[in-house]
Each structure stands twice: as C-alpha cells, then as structure tokens.
Amino acid sequence: MDIAILRELQNDGRMPNKDLAEKVGIAPSTCLDRVARLRRVGAITGYTARVGAQAIGRPIEALLAVQVRPHSRPLVDPFIAHVLALPETRSLHHTSGPDDFFVHVACGSVQDLQSLVLDQFTARPEVARLQTHLIFATWEGSPLLPYEAAETVGGRRQDDGKRAKKGAGAAGGR
C-alpha cells in the first residue's frame, strides 16, 4: 500500500487525500495516517513544484563538472555554500571519480553561462578544472520505489523481498 501511495504522490504531489485514497484503494483516514507515517520515517521529504526553465527565461541548461583542489573540507564546505547561493544552480551533486561535483545550472543565454563559469567558478582558487556540458533534453525517470516492491518497475520484475535460497533451483532474484 505504501508503494502505491509513493508512486501516486510522485506522479502528482498535489493530489487531494480523498483522490489518493480512492486510487490506492483504502479509506481516506487510513490514507492520511499512512502518508503522515511516510513523512515521519523520511520516505516523503517534501513536495515541490517543477518549474520549466525555458518558461521563466532560462533556456540554456548545463552540467558543470568541477574538480576542486585540494579536496578538503575547509575548501569544499565554502564551495558548496557558494554554489547553492547562486540563482542559476538547480542542483549540486558531490561525486566520486575525476570530478568532485556536478552542478546543474540554468541560464538566460550562452553569454550568461560563460559569465557564470568565468566569474563564479573558474575565478575561485579551489577550482582546478571545469568542464561544461550543455543539456539538450531531459527526461524524468519513473517514480522512485523501494527495492522490495513486489511489482514491475521500469520494465523489470522486482521480487517481494523473498530472495531465492541458494541451491533451491529458483530462477528468481535480480
């Protein structure tokens, strides 16, 4: 039941409780209790509006791959604060591999993107390397559900948490 609630709310976070309860097949009071519990345990962390960058005058989106040197907390923490304060920042990811951060930005023009890169990133002494990747198109993934979901998700059959025992001859598993 929680899986169905999570799926429906990820598809439409503004759905009224009455409609949500009807879609997942439970009483509205039960649905309200389950949603409250999902919030308490951190499965639902908030509700947001998706904003079309182009519709608000920011048609140029890019991923900036940033390498910070030295990669140490005294430099990383202020860098994160700086990037999150920029109005162009849509998301920031601290990653493993040759790049330390990926920053998703939205700008009004290619010139705005160039100014952002030169004035707000490469001008910082801790930024050792930066690569700009223009985003041509973006697709949303399917709703995020736990691995234990006993239903098909994204074209793959998910097991119900009961793994096949080794040597039992079962063809299940992932």
pLDDT tens-place string over residues 69-83: 999 999 999 999 999
Residue 38 inside a domain? The answer is yes
Q: How many domains does the chain fold into?
A: 2
Dihedral of alpha carbons 127, 133, 137, 141, sign: negative
CA dist 75 and 126 (Å) reads: 7
Residues 7 and 26 in one domain: yes
Judge whether 165 lies within some domain.
no
- The CATH number assigned to the domain holding 117 equals 3.30.70.920
Range of the domain at 9: 2-48
Count other Cβ atoms within 10 Å, centred on residue 71.
14
Instruction: Summarize pLDDT for 123-166 with one digit per residue, the tens.
Output: 999 999 999 999 999 998 888 888 876 444 344 444 444 443 33
32 plus 74 within the same structural domain: no
